[in-house]
């Protein structure tokens, strides 16, 4: 399933989506993210899942715009470290 973490406010929608069917639980996004946005845990949506999955840490879910700001300079959107690190392509950003 596609797990959405984030929020919307007057300035936009700030969601990170992790496709739990693509995520292998490898942890590469955890080490790639300078802000510590991710952690790998037992799949919260499927107790019978064989592998762990990445989730957005609770403390970042209501401030992603700010957590991710250093990776998204105004006016440009370079390859994001988390997206680049995820070989299965499980991570998407809404902004
Ligand atoms: S954009 Fe940067 S700060 Fe945000 S989750 Fe990805 S690597 Fe972490
Ligand atoms: S890098 Fe991708 S596959 Fe690996 S744990 Fe993170 S989201 Fe899952």
User: What is the predicted pLDDT for the residue at 94?
Assistant: 96
User: What is the predicted pLDDT for the residue at 87?
Assistant: 98
Positions of the chain with pLDDT under 70: none
User: What is the predicted pLDDT for the residue at 76?
Assistant: 75
User: What is the predicted pLDDT for the residue at 29?
Assistant: 98
CA distances from 79 to 25, 41, 51 (A): 21, 25, 27
Domains in the chain, please, with CATH?
2-93 (3.30.70.20)
SS3 84: helix
User: What is the predicted pLDDT for the residue at 45?
Assistant: 94
- State the distance between the two ends of the chain, measured CA to CA, in whole angstroms: 20
With the most atoms of ligand 2 within 8 angstroms of its CB, the residue from 20, 26, 89 to mutate is 26
**Atom 6 of ligand 1, residue of closest alpha carbon:** 82
User: What is the predicted pLDDT for the residue at 78?
Assistant: 83
User: What is the predicted pLDDT for the residue at 34?
Assistant: 97
User: What is the predicted pLDDT for the residue at 88?
Assistant: 98
């Amino acid at each position: 399933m596609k797990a959405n973490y984030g929020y919307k406010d007057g300035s936009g929608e700030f969601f990170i989506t992790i496709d739990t069917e693509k995520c292998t639980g490898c942890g590469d996004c955890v080490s790639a993210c300078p802000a510590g946005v991710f952690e790998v845990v037992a799949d919260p949506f499927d107790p019978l899942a064989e592998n762990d999955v990445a989730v957005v840490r609770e403390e970042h879910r209501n401030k992603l715009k700010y957590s991710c700001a250093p990776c998204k300079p105004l006016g440009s959107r370079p390859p994001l470290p988390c997206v680049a690190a995820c070989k299965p392509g499980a991570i998407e950003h809404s902004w």
